[in-house]
Structures are given as C-alpha cells and as structure tokens.
Amino acid sequence: MNMKISIPVLGEDGFFPAKYTCDGENISPPIEWEGIPEGAEFLVLICDDPDAYGGTWVHWVVFNIPADTKGLPENVLPERELKSSALQGMNDFKKIGYGGPCPPSGEHRYFFKLYALDDRINLPSGAYKNQIFIAMEDHVLAQGNIMGKYSR
C-alpha cells in the first residue's frame, strides 16, 4: 500500500524555493500526507539526497509521529521532541532537525520518504537514519515518497 505525500511549496517544476534551503531561511517546508493504512501506529519521515558527493546525505529524520497526524507544518523547530511527541533524529550536518538543500554545485534531488509502522521505534531522539531503518525492520505497513529538486 502506498501513501500520498505532498509538499505544497514545490514549484510546478518540482524545485524548492530558496526559502527552504541553505541559501534562504533554511526552514522545513510544510508537508501533507494521506492514505495512512489501518493498523498504523506511528510514522517515520526521512529526507535525503542521493546525489551528494560520497553517498546519500541525510537532511531530516523524524520518527514516532502519531499515525493520526496529517502532516508537518512549515518551520518545524530543531527540537529533540515535538509537541506531538514525535522525535527528531540526527541529520548529516550533525544537527537535530531539518537541514535544507545545500548542494555544492549542480542540481540535486531530495526525497521525502514516509513510512507507516505498526509499532513505536524504541530509540532516543538524535538517532541516525541507519539506526531507525534497523528498528523499522518487519514493522513497515506502507510507504510513500515525493521528490523535490534544488540547484546552485
């Protein structure tokens, strides 16, 4: 089963406005989703850039999002725990929370991947993407993704 994710601020060409990148305010974009399957308890959102030099670069990790959540607002603050009780992980900038697109040159793709899980991830805030993927194993009920681009 696939879930639908949308990022309303993406242009018709799929590019992020500079506001959501290191060239602007570097704040997280608003994200909406639907189609969460029955039996889902929690969601995980991961944003990464597979075009980064040296391998995939993780820009954002949010986990243990309650399954009845319909999205995330613009400018989610870099706090370990959100008001919804969701937790934020460590990005590859070595910071908690969102780190916007910041390619050294050229056009890069940024994938926002949403996973519906049947159980909570028993990791503390600040966990890394690879730790979360291990904890998610055998618990994913559905997933969805959307891709945005940015170039410098």
Domain of residue 27, residue span: 4-151
Q: Which pLDDT score is estimated for 14?
A: 95
Give the CATH number, domain containing residue 139. 3.90.280.10
Number of structural domains (the chain) is 1
**Is the CB of residue 119 less than 8 Å from the CB of residue 39?**
no
Q: Helices in the chain by DSSP H: which ranges?
A: 129-136
Give the pLDDT confidence of 26-37 residue by residue, as tens digits.
999 999 999 999
Examine the pLDDT at 139 and tell me if it is beyond 80.
yes
DSSP state of 133: H
Residues near 52 by Cβ (< 8 Å), separated by ≥ 6? Answer: 103, 108
With a pLDDT cut of 70, the percent of the chain lying above it is 99
Residues near 13 by Cβ (< 8 Å), separated by ≥ 6? Answer: 149
Q: Which pLDDT score is estimated for 11?
A: 84
Examine the pLDDT at 1 and tell me if it is beyond 70.
no
SS3 83: coil
Q: Which pLDDT score is estimated for 95?
A: 97
Whole-angstrom Cα Rg for the chain: 14
pTM, full prediction: 0.96
Q: Which pLDDT score is estimated for 127?
A: 98
Other beta carbons within 10 angstroms of residue 106's beta carbon come to 10
Please tell me the distance from the alpha carbon of residue 92 to that of residue 32, in angstroms, as a whole number: 24
Q: Give burial (CB, 10 Å; 0-12/13-18/19+) of 137.
A: exposed
Confidence category of residue 12, pLDDT binned at 50, 70, 90: confident
Examine the pLDDT at 142 and tell me if it is beyond 80.
yes
Please give the structure tokens belonging to residue 8: 């309303």
Give the pLDDT confidence of 36-76 residue by residue, as tens digits.
999 999 999 999 999 998 899 999 999 999 999 999 999 99
HSE-CB for 18 with a 13 A CA cutoff = 3
